[in-house]
Amino acid sequence: MSSLYGSLLVIDWVSIPVTTLGGILLGVVLVRDAFIAWAGWVLLLLPWFWFRFGDPAHMIYAVAVNVLVYSAGFPEIRAHFANRRAGKVRPLSLRSFFSDARNVFMRRGESSTD
């Protein structure tokens, strides 16, 4: 994903915060799914580039990025949705999204500089 962010810095830096926040809101508020919150921003590049540029070259880039990202992650995507159908994935809320993200970067009760 970092190479995608790097290419977006060159093409359209505004798309990074807009689609990232949009993907989080889409995943957490509307769909309540962690996968969509994590990777939904890539899907949002399609309408973003369509409304922002309307240029076929930008749309080809957005389609190619979506195909590459989701085909590379296909095994994880398939496993996630199989777990979701089996009831092993809990619904996502804003509170759980941000507390889980905080726990990933910092152990509870300790600062990150310890």
pLDDT by residue (tens digit) across 13-23? 999 999 999 99
Structural domain includes residue 78: yes
Torsion from C-alpha of 54, 55, 59, 65, nearest 10 degrees: -120
Q: Which domain holds residue 54?
A: 2-105
pLDDT of residue 34: 79
Determine the pLDDT at residue 28.
84
The amino acid at 38: W
Render pLDDT for 68-87 as a digit per residue (tens, 0 to 9). 998 998 888 888 888 888 88
Position 29 scores a pLDDT of 85
Start-to-end CA span in the chain (Å): 29
**Model pTM?**
0.72
Nearest to 92 by CA among 26, 42, 39: 26
Per the structure, the count of domains in the chain is 1
| Per-residue pLDDT at 110 | 52
Residue 48 covered by a domain: yes
Question: What are the DSSP calls for 1-70, one per residue?
Answer: -HHHHHHHHHH-TTHHHHHHHHHHHIIIIII--HHHHHHHHHHHHHHHHHHHT--HHHHHHHHHHHHHHH
Determine which helix (DSSP H) or strand (DSSP E) holds 96, and give its type and residue range.
Answer: helix 94-105
Is 84 within the bounds of a domain? yes
Domain assignment present for residue 6? The answer is yes
Q: Is residue 110 part of a domain?
A: no
Would you state the pLDDT for residue 61? Answer: 95
Please indicate, yes or no, if residue 19 is contained in any of the structural domains.
yes
Taking only the tens of pLDDT, the chain with its 114 residues reads 788 899 999 999 999 999 999 998 888 888 888 788 888 899 999 999 999 999 999 999 999 999 999 899 888 888 888 888 888 877 766 666 666 655 555 555 555 444
Burial label for 28, CB within 10 Å (0-12, 13-18, 19+), is buried
